[in-house]
């Protein structure tokens, strides 16, 4: 935690309309992350936003599996896949960033989940754990030593991103008061335990300078 924020990146994960109240896959209190993120964003040397960006025929959508209910699962070549309500479809209002999120300071926007046959939770890899987004190389070339993470949802895209950051050799710190979780059948507690075991750190955005 002694790393200067000028040598750190803030990854703002999927703060999009469909994940906020009123959206197609709303996370309870999802819009509450906007204010703390906006306050701390200018203090980081590197600012990255990620954006779910699905085609309408994406195979992670329950609607594209006849008879399947949202939040059920199916097996994909890369493993078990939760079938989600249709969300963050490319070019729709639901896929847009929350209107109050400060997007102007962003150095980079990573769009993920745009390949129809594979979902993408992590900011670093598609869910096959092999197809990269290019974020790791970008952070290394920018000289980033630590990655702070905030956004939605704690137990899916934030957790997957944090775990991959550690696996790739970055220090990863999740800002717990600037995240919110979905919590499917205990997924939030499991994600927090898994991150802690992997060496992910936890901190509060409220303790960082604005």
Q: Which one is catalytic: 31, 112, 164, 179? A: 112
Distance, in Å, from the CA atom of 37 to the CA atom of 46, rounded to the nearest integer, reads 14
* Active-site annotation holds for 155: no
Residue 29 has a CB neighbour count (10 Å cut-off) of 12
Distance, in Å, from the CA atom of 30 to the CA atom of 20, rounded to the nearest integer, reads 5
* Active-site annotation holds for 157: yes
* Active-site annotation holds for 14: yes
Compute CA distances 38 → 11, 100, 167, whole Å.
Answer: 12, 9, 28
Q: Which one is catalytic: 20, 88, 157, 179? A: 157
Distance, in Å, from the CA atom of 174 to the CA atom of 149, rounded to the nearest integer, reads 5
Distance, in Å, from the CA atom of 119 to the CA atom of 40, rounded to the nearest integer, reads 29
Whether the CB-CB separation of 18 and 93 falls below 8 Å is answered with: no
Annotated catalytic residues are 14, 112, 157
């Amino acid at each position: 935690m002694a790393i200067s924020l000028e040598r750190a990146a803030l990854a703002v994960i999927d703060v999009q309309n469909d994940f906020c109240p009123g959206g197609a896959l709303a996370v309870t209190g999802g819009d509450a992350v906007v204010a703390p993120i906006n306050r701390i964003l200018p203090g980081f040397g590197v600012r990255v936003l990620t954006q779910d960006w699905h085609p309408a025929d994406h195979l992670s959508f329950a609607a594209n599996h006849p008879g399947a209910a949202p939040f059920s699962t199916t097996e994909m070549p890369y493993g078990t896949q939760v079938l989600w309500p249709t969300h963050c479809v490319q070019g729709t209002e639901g896929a847009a960033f929350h209107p109050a999120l400060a997007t102007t300071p962003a150095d980079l926007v990573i769009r993920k989940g745009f390949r129809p046959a594979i979902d993408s939770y992590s900011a670093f890899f598609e869910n096959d754990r092999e197809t990269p987004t290019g974020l790791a190389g970008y952070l290394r070339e920018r000289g980033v030593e630590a990655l702070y993470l905030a956004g939605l949802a704690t137990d899916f895209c934030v957790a997957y991103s944090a775990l991959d950051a550690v696996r790739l050799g970055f220090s990863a710190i999740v800002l717990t008061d600037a995240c919110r979780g979905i919590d499917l059948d205990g997924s939030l507690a499991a994600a927090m335990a898994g991150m802690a075991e992997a060496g992910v750190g936890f901190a509060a955005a409220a303790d960082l300078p604005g």
